[in-house]
Structure 1
Amino acid sequence: MSHNTKVVLKSGLEIPQLAIGTSAFGGLFAAVSDSEVAQVVESSIEHGINFFDTAPHYGKGSAEKRLGKVIKAYPRESLVISSKVGRLLVKSNGGDDPGWENSDPLVERTFDYSAYGIEKSLEDSLKRLELERLDMVFIHDPDDHADQAITVAYPVLEKMRNQGLITAIGVGITTTAIPTRFVHETDIDVVLMALRYTLLDQSAALDLLPAALEKGVSVIAGGVFNSGILINPGKDSTFNYMPASPEIVHRAQVIQKFLSEHKTSLAQVAMQFPLRHPAICAVLVGCRSRDEVLQNIADFDTVIAEDIWLEIEDFLFSLPKI
């Protein structure tokens, strides 16, 4: 497995198997400096990773702005840039933004999956990124707006794709039922699925992944560490962006011990495991420093023998469902 192996979506867009998410650029959980943002982007590109995913939600636009400043130094055609629609950023009187340390204090988020909202969101993202077009656009977190997202938001993006304004359309979400609907009811190219095909949670295998495989829709796996616990599980770990319960911590530690006995690490297996499913084409990970980029590349590229994989999968699939 190699981090810069390229895969082609049904739209014809080519992406590397390892991609970079930019929630850290918005200060998710901890502040990140402009210098660190630049180092993440520069070191990723230096090592052949040219796909960066962002969103207005990340730091209320700050992630897009910071990414845009750095990628100006590179030829546009050499990069794959995706962002998301479904939230508008509107002026506010300021205030705290729990969980985000680099957030813009002068705006607030509001969900909007209307035709106007989709067009406005994309327009604003392009301004923040200082770009003229996006390669991929995801409808973001339509958990409580599925019908509108499918019948209103998607057709707007489909028209843009037909006009050549964007190359690929997707949905980005942390659940599986709604993206499964998108796969069956629309002509999306890709699903960005977070948290649901990991060492701790394989629930996407029940509905989304078989549907995507049948329809030829590519799936990108995000949140492969379940927000951190699958790097180094302990009492202060987070699981799916919440404090991890003792039961989840114990389960992660049991998996960690098993992998250690098989001469592999939790991080190595967590990054590579999603790609064992034929519906999943790439893995997206967040990085907040050059060192994290290099470590993620090393973990992703570590060769794990097929017989070891079979033992790992037998063990994982024998565990009780969470």
Structure 2
Amino acid sequence: MSVALPRLGLGTAPIGNLFAEVSEPDAAATLAAAVAEGMTYFDTAPRYGHGVAEDRLGRALPDGGVISTKAGWLLRPGERVVTDWSERGLRESLESSLRRLRRPAVDVLFLHDPDDFREEVRRTGYPAARRIREEGLAGAIGFGMNHCEPLAAYVAEFEPDVVLIAGRFSLLDHDALTTLLPLCVRTGTTVVVGGVFNTGLLADPKPGAMFHYRETPPDVLARARRCREVCAEFGVPLAAAALRFPYLHPAVGSVVVGCRSAEEVRANAAAARTEIPPELWHRLAAEGFVPPELLEA
């Protein structure tokens, strides 16, 4: 892959008003804090706030930084989106993203959630993405998805430069380990892991916390709290262990964390710098939070 992704990146869905509105000053402060903390990778998408996240990112960082965005869904008036995996559709999506981002190209272009569009991606979507990369409009191409099985199928067929998997490689969800991550090692595909907190549960396992974008089941909440207890025995915040966990696998090149405030940015940056004692990883493995094979190397 021609693009070197920083180890830690900022996910911009929250400043696109995901779950709750973020004011313009707060969004600007969030991005400024990320830069101050040394975060140079920013992941975004047109669907994050119907263009709001890209626009805010473009105004804050019109140049510099590593940017990934996504294509495959076209924005329409009235908050509507329509799928379009044709070359014309992908180029329209990218061109509109570049206008909002205020830059001539992006570092990474992901095809966004093409779970149910295998034939369209095979026929027009991925060939168009290759041409976009050849023209220099994107430094690397791949797929950004929430489910491992269809993503692994795309990796096996196309051997993309990079993929983003959200929520499926965490202390509470090891789904990516069975097929996706070993496959990416074989194909040389860089993996970006998002959703390390599983929609917030592993940041703060309290009643009402969300898991995979839904209300957390009681048994999952209990598991998250037990994980926090084990981490506390070693003086390590749960969020730090959750953020550092994906790096245990050699396929993972970067982790992106969504933040909606400068305070969250600073907290996550501190978590990323936290040293995790090997003994903690082994205790977490004994309790089923870490696959033991990740500790065998």
Normalised by the size of structure 1, how large is the TM-score? Answer: 0.87
Query: Deviation digits for residues 111-167 of structure 1, max 9, x if unmatched?
Result: 221222111111111112222111110000111112322332111010111122210
Tell me if structure 2 keeps the 8 A contact 1:150–1:182: no
Select 2:192's aligned residue among 220, 226, 229: 220
> Aligned partner of 1:125: which letter?
S
Within the alignment, does 1:254 sit opposite 2:226 as a pair? yes
Query: Deviation digits for residues 203-233 of structure 1, max 9, x if unmatched?
Result: 1101100000111101011000000111111
Select 2:126's aligned residue among 151, 154, 160: 154
> Aligned partner of 1:172: which letter?
G
State the partner residue of 1:141.
113
User: Distance in 2 between the 1:317 and 1:82 partners?
Assistant: 30
Q: Structure 2, unaligned stretches of length 5 or more?
A: 292-297
Select 1:83's aligned residue among 69, 79, 84: 69
2:288 aligns to what SS in structure 1? helix
Instruction: Give 1:181 deviation, angstroms.
Output: 1.6
Tell me if structure 1 keeps the 8 A contact 2:230–2:283: no
Query: What is the correspondence of 1:43-192 to structure 2 with a 5 Å cutoff?
Result: 43-72=33-62, 76=63, 78-92=64-78, 107-192=79-164
User: Distance in 2 between the 1:291 and 1:234 partners?
Assistant: 19
1:131 aligns to what SS in structure 2? coil
Within the alignment, does 1:25 sit opposite 2:12 as a pair? no
State the partner residue of 2:243.
271
Count of residues paired in the alignment: 291
Q: Structure 1, unaligned stretches of length 5 or more?
A: 1-10, 93-106
Select 1:230's aligned residue among 202, 224, 235: 202
* Percent identity of equivalent pairs: 38
> Aligned partner of 1:224: which letter?
V
1:295 aligns to what SS in structure 2? helix
After TM superposition, which residue ranges in structure 1, 4 or more long, deviate above 3 angstroms?
A: none
Query: Deviation digits for residues 49-71 of structure 1, max 9, x if unmatched?
Result: 11111101111111111111111
State the partner residue of 1:8.
none
User: Distance in 2 between the 1:91 and 1:202 partners?
Assistant: 38
User: Distance in 1 between the 2:101 and 2:31 partners?
Assistant: 14
2:154 aligns to what SS in structure 1? helix
The 1:318/1:81 distance shift into structure 2, 3 A limit, reads closer
2:5 aligns to what SS in structure 1? strand
1:20 aligns to what SS in structure 2? strand
The 1:307/1:251 distance shift into structure 2, 3 A limit, reads closer
User: Distance in 2 between the 1:318 and 1:285 partners?
Assistant: 20
Tell me if structure 2 keeps the 8 A contact 1:118–1:153: yes
User: Distance in 1 between the 2:77 and 2:203 partners?
Assistant: 37
Instruction: Give 1:277 deviation, angstroms.
Output: 0.8
Cα root mean square deviation, aligned: 1.5
Instruction: Give 1:44 deviation, angstroms.
Output: 1.3
1:157 aligns to what SS in structure 2? helix
Query: Deviation digits for residues 277-318 of structure 1, max 9, x if unmatched?
Result: 111111100111111111101111011122322222232258
User: Distance in 1 between the 2:162 and 2:169 partners?
Assistant: 15
Tell me if structure 2 keeps the 8 A contact 1:192–1:221: yes
> Aligned partner of 2:73: which letter?
R
> Aligned partner of 1:86: which letter?
G
User: Distance in 2 between the 1:244 and 1:314 partners?
Assistant: 23
